[in-house]
Amino acid sequence: MASNCATMLSKIKIPLPDMLNAVLDLDSSALIIDQIKNLIKICRSKEEMDLLRNSAGGDKEMLGKFEEIFGELMKVPRIEPKLRMFAFKVDYASRVRDLRIWLNTIIAATKEIMGSVKLLRIMQTISTLEILGGSNAECVLTSLVRLSDNVDLMHDFYKLVGEKMPELLDFGNDLVHLEAASKIELNAVAENMQQLYDIEREVDDEFIASENDGANFVGFRNMLYDFLGRIDADAQLLNILYSEAVSYIITFG
- Above 70 in pLDDT, residue 5? no
Q: CA torsion sign, 5 to 206 to 87 to 217?
A: negative
**Domain containing residue 189:** 82-106+182-251
Largest Cα–Cα distance in the chain? 89
pLDDT in tens, 117-127: 998 888 887 77
Same-domain status, 56 and 95: no
> Which residues in 128-142 are b (16+ Cβ under 10 Å) and which e?
eeebbeebeeebbee
Same-domain status, 98 and 202: yes
Same-domain status, 129 and 215: no
Same-domain status, 100 and 159: no
Same-domain status, 94 and 150: no
Q: d(Cα 231, Cα 227) in Å, to the nearest integer?
A: 6
pLDDT in tens, 153-200: 777 777 888 888 888 888 889 999 999 999 999 999 999 999 999 999
Same-domain status, 90 and 211: yes
